[in-house]
Structure 1
Amino acid sequence: MIEIFTDGASRGNPGPGGYGTILRYKQHIKELTAGYRLTTNNRMELLAVIVGLEAIKTSNIPVTIFSDSKYVVDAVEKKWVYGWQKKGFAGKANADLWMRFLRIYPKHQVKFVWIKGHAGHPENERCDVLAVQSALSPNLLIDHGYEASANLKP
C-alpha cells in the first residue's frame, strides 16, 4: 500500500501559500512541496492530494491519503464532487483543481482518512512544515487557476 500524507497552508486567505506532500511506499519516502504567490488554503490542501496521486507511477496498488482537510475528504468521500461535476462545477471554487483531481483519482484505489491537524501526527506536522516553508520562500510560483478566476493579472 502507498500512503500519502498532505497539508496545505496560506499566509492570508488568499495570500502566499504552499503544500506539503509525503509519499511512503514500504521503506521509500518522497517529499513534494511548492509555494505560490497568491492562492487559498483550500486550493493548497487539494493540490497536495493531486500532486501526491500524480507522483505515483504505477496502478493497482491501494493508496491511503491522510489529510486534515474536511473540504477535500468530505467532497470525495461524501461524493459531493460528482454532483459538482455533473453541474459543470457551476459556481464552485477550485473547479480547475477538481477537474485535475478527477482525471487522476480513478487511476488508483484510493481511500481517504481524515486526521486532526496540528495534533501531533508526525507526517501531518512534517507536511505542515513543508507547506509553510514553501509559502514563505522567495521563489513563489503563480497559481494561474486562482489568479485567472480572481481576474488578477500575473
Structure 2
Amino acid sequence: MKDVTIYTDGACSGNPGPGGWGAVLMYGENIKELSGGDRLTTNQKMELVAAVEALKALREPCNVTLYSDSAYLINCFRQKWYVNWQKNGWKNSKKEPVQNKELWQELLQLQDHHHVKWEKVKGHSGVDWNERCDELARAAIPK
C-alpha cells in the first residue's frame, strides 16, 4: 500500500455560519490540494468534511497519516469514542444524539478501507501544511 500524508482543516465565519474546509494530500513528490464550502455549517462539521473528502480522494487503499488541529476529530479515533457511540445507538455520554453522525459513519467506513493513523497538530503554530489547509478552508468560505 502507498504511504500518503494528509493535512486537513475546517473554518467557519460564525458558528454556525458559512464555512470552508481544506486538505492537502501528499504522496512522494505529488501534492494535491482540495477545498470546499457550505453556506450554513459549523466548524466541527467542516473539520469532519475535510477528513472525509481527503480520504475519499484516494483511489486505492493506502497507509495514511492524517494530521488535523481538531481535537474532536483526532480524539474520537485515538480514544475510540465511536465504539460507545455505536453501542449506545449513536448517543454521546450525555445521552444526546451524536452531532454529524453521517460524517462519523462515513469516516469509519473510510478508516476501514485505509489504514489511518490520526495525528494531532497544534493549530496556528507555524506548521506549514496545517497553515496551508487553514488558508484553503478560509478561502472556500462562501461570501
The CA deviation at 1:15 is 0.4
RMSD between aligned residues: 0.9
The alignment covers a number of residue pairs equal to 136
Match of 2:15 in 1: 13
Does residue 88 of structure 1 match 2:107?
Answer: no
Match of 1:37 in 2: 39
The one-letter amino acid of 1:83's match is N
TM-score using structure 2 length: 0.92
Q: Which has the higher strand share?
A: 2
The CA deviation at 1:101 is 1.1
Match of 1:73 in 2: 74
Match of 1:23 in 2: 25
Q: Secondary structure at 1:3's aligned position in 2?
A: strand
CA displacement 1:44-86 (0-9 Å, x = unmatched) = 1011111111111111x31100100000000011000121122
Structure 1 unmatched runs, 5+: 139-154
Q: Secondary structure at 2:72's aligned position in 1?
A: helix
Give the distance between the partners of 1:43 and 1:50, measured in 2 at CA: 10
Match of 1:46 in 2: 48
Give the distance between the partners of 2:81 and 2:120, measured in 1 at CA: 16
Give the distance between the partners of 2:34 and 2:17, measured in 1 at CA: 20
Runs of 4+ in 1 over 6 A off after TM superposition: none
The CA deviation at 1:113 is 0.9
- Greater displacement, 81-90 / 13-22: 81-90
Give the distance between the partners of 1:34 and 1:87, measured in 2 at CA: 32
Structure 2 unmatched runs, 5+: 92-96
Q: Secondary structure at 1:98's aligned position in 2?
A: helix
The one-letter amino acid of 1:8's match is G
The CA deviation at 1:89 is 1.3
